[in-house]
A and B are shown apart, each in its own frame.
Chain A
């Protein structure tokens, strides 16, 4: 009985450790070919590093376990362990490293989705190119991709440097002012992953996240078509009041809502009610958080470009938040 428990213990620990590897933001749980090849390289590196650690530890113990020091062994250690072994391993790793993540530079066909991802300080814009010469449709802080096909991302930034990183799908690609960096990602299964800015971009770098949602192609097409459509007329007087407030308060000077306003300084709000988070991953969505964000954006994410609208009457705040939440 005791022996059983003792034998089971290491496996329990291993399983627990492995359980820590999956997640919506983990390079150890790859969901696409680019991340898989990087993960494979990682596994070799972890294994190799473990072997080297064991070897060095064993060698360190040698002088303690035996007396004297034969000179031949010393020469062998210096030239063999100090020059030949690292030289060989590092040389072998170079082509491996160069090959890892090459899927991020794969060719794509015009039929595949192309999304322009624009980094701003404090948020991300995702602008989806549409076929047949239609104008692109924008969303923010959320990248939707069709499952099982390469998606071309054109990464650029409007202000400071950022780095686009979805660990489950691919490696990092920097977003550099004045440059467009191309990158291809592919999700092999439907799912939701979290991406994050991986290059320090200022005071709110930590609150600079986004979601990647992989859905079947048909669903993606329908979603993209809906994204490009104008928002519907509000259905209740309360929601209409919210819409009118959006216009009266001048929200549209910074935000776009298809059919209503075309501001480009802040995130496109055409489908803000359907987004999982607001403020680039600062808060979950929902009417409560949207209301809090409107009333105290500067408290929740200090320094971002949105002022706290803390001079509204209670019902006005509720109406505005409810209307925004109804944009799905």
Chain B
């Protein structure tokens, strides 16, 4: 008798659990899926992050980046959601190859830019590009 009742209640519990999970899922902020087309050949996002976070190239002194608290530069644009932007420096098509070339020597591609050639090697530029394409959420508030 008791077992029978348990068996009857099971689908209802399952439905409740599914509903709860569904509700909880609705609580997450909208996280867009990573963009598959923006893949940098030979680029390692973790190494790119290390290069940027070291601060020696000055990236963060001009650009605000999610996950890097200081110095949250204001000279250039913040770089979250870069993968979804139409242009690099407002002029160049935003493709992995172009971004890598731009990072390695910005003035060579956009002579009017204020972004200096900060001395990234082509390999470093690939890593940094791979890292930048992973950035989605806006930089944290203070």
Contact = CB atoms under 8 A, between A and B. Distances in A.
Interface residues of B, number: 22
Nearest to A289: B58
B118 interface: yes
9 tightest CB-CB pairs across the interface, nearest first?
A288-B58, A314-B114, A292-B61, A289-B58, A288-B118, A295-B75, A317-B114, A292-B62, A318-B116
11 contacts: A284-B58, A286-B118, A287-B58, A287-B119, A289-B56, A295-B75, A296-B61, A296-B62, A314-B115, A318-B113, A322-B116
Given A286-B57, A288-B58, A289-B55, A299 B73 contact: yes
Contacts of B119: 286-287
Nearest to B111: A315
Given A283-B55, A286-B56, A286-B58, A292 B115 contact: no
B122 interface: no
B26 to A, nearest CB: 38
Which size bracket describes the interface of A in this complex?
20 to 34
B59 interface: yes
Contacts of A283: 55, 58, 61, 71
Interface of A: 282-284, 286-293, 295-296, 299-300, 310, 312-315, 317-318, 321-322
Contacts of A290: 58
A300 B60 CA distance: 11
A312 B116 CA distance: 14
Given A284-B56, A288-B61, A295 B114 contact: yes
B118 A313 contact: no
A309 to B, nearest CB: 10
Nearest to A300: B71
Interface string B105-126: 0010001111111110000000
A321 B62 contact: no
A288 B116 CA distance: 6
Contacts of A287: 58, 116-119
A283 B58 CA distance: 8
Among B58, B61, B73, chain A packs the most CB atoms within 10 A around the CB of B61
B107 A318 contact: yes
B76 to A, nearest CB: 9
B75 A292 contact: yes
A315 B59 contact: no
Contacts of B98: none
B74 interface: yes
Given A296-B74, A296-B75, A289 B114 contact: no
Nearest to A283: B61
B139 to A, nearest CB: 14
Contact of B73 (A286, A296, A314): A296
